């Protein structure tokens, strides 16, 4: 499925590049602000990232904005979901357009990650887990590249081909080591939590639709 999405995106990119070869630069020049929503089916390590962005068009070559992205993954034991990992990203980002639609992405962001487990049978039934056992906070630099096309009426389509979030600072703010039965187990838990705090992220072929005005 993901392979076909990539092929579809590449084909659409070539079609848009031909159809809108001279328009997007001019249309950005006639706009000041934009909003969009996006979905990255190929996001690592947690799949299916959603995002919402607001941005200011400085000039046809530069955009600056704020993006909020989120995803979650269920934790299973013996085929039953017993908890979740929730990931939230807040990023101050910029796009540099050397030409019409192609752009380089750069930014600074913060990721908050929670590992939540069921506290009782009600949690298990509703999948609304109330017991936060681990919480981490990560600061990262964002780098990437994509294409953004904008129509005269303000409609915009963005395909970010690759976005990397590279951590440079991280901490575990809530640790599950309090549940350990021994210091050895507590050390293993802390090592795992450090991995959760420091892992890099990759969003591949993220599709965004929005409006500029």
Which tens digit of pLDDT belongs to each residue from 146-197? 999 999 889 999 999 999 999 999 999 998 888 888 888 889 989 989 999 9
Q: Domain count of the chain? A: 1
Among all chains, which residue has been given the structure tokens 């992205």?
69
Q: How far is the C-alpha of 168 from the C-alpha of 159, rounded, in Å? A: 26
Torsion (CA) 106, 107, 112, 113 in degrees, nearest 10:
10
Q: How far is the C-alpha of 107 from the C-alpha of 115, rounded, in Å? A: 26
Residues 6 or more apart from 21 whose CB is under 8 A from it?
100
Q: How far is the C-alpha of 37 from the C-alpha of 205, rounded, in Å? A: 14
Torsion (CA) 97, 26, 29, 207 in degrees, nearest 10:
-50
**DSSP codes of every residue in 109-164:** EEEEEEEEE--SHHHHHHT---EEEEEEEEEEEEEEEEEEEE-TTSEEEEEEEEEE
Domain that holds residue 58: 2-212
Q: How far apart are the two ends of the chain, measured CA to CA in Å? A: 34
Q: How far is the C-alpha of 68 from the C-alpha of 161, rounded, in Å? A: 18
Assigned token pair, 81: 């979901």
pTM of the model as a whole:
0.85
How many Cβ atoms are within 10 Å of 166's Cβ, its own excluded? 11
Chunked mean pLDDT (size 10), the chain, 213 residues: 51 50 83 96 94 97 98 82 90 96 98 86 70 92 97 94 98 88 87 93 96 94
CATH of the domain at 45: 2.40.160.20
**Beta carbons of 157 and 8 less than 8 angstroms apart:** no
Q: How do the residues of the chain divide into helix, strand and coil, expressed in percent and rounded to 5?
A: 25, 60, 20
Q: Residue 78: its pLDDT value, please?
A: 74
């Amino acid at each position: 499925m993901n392979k076909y999405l990539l092929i579809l995106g590449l084909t659409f990119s070539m079609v848009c590049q031909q159809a809108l070869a001279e328009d997007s630069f001019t249309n950005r020049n006639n706009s000041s602000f934009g909003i969009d929503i996006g979905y990255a089916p190929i996001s690592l390590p947690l799949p299916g990232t959603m995002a919402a962005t607001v941005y200011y068009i400085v000039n046809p070559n530069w955009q600056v904005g704020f993006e909020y992205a989120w995803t979650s993954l269920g934790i299973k034991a013996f085929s039953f979901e017993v908890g979740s990992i929730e990931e939230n990203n807040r990023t101050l980002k910029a796009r540099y357009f050397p030409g019409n639609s192609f752009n380089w992405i750069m930014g600074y962001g913060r990721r908050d990650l929670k590992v939540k487990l069921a506290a009782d049978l009600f949690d298990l039934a509703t999948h609304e887990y109330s017991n936060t056992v681990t919480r981490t906070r990560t600061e990262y630099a964002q780098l990437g590249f994509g294409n953004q096309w904008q129509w005269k009426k303000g409609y915009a389509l963005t395909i970010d081909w690759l976005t990397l979030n590279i951590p440079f600072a991280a901490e575990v703010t809530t640790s599950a080591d309090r549940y350990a039965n021994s210091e050895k187990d507590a050390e293993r838990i802390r090592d795992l939590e450090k991995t959760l705090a420091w892992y890099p992220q990759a969003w591949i072929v993220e599709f965004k639709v929005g409006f500029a005005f």
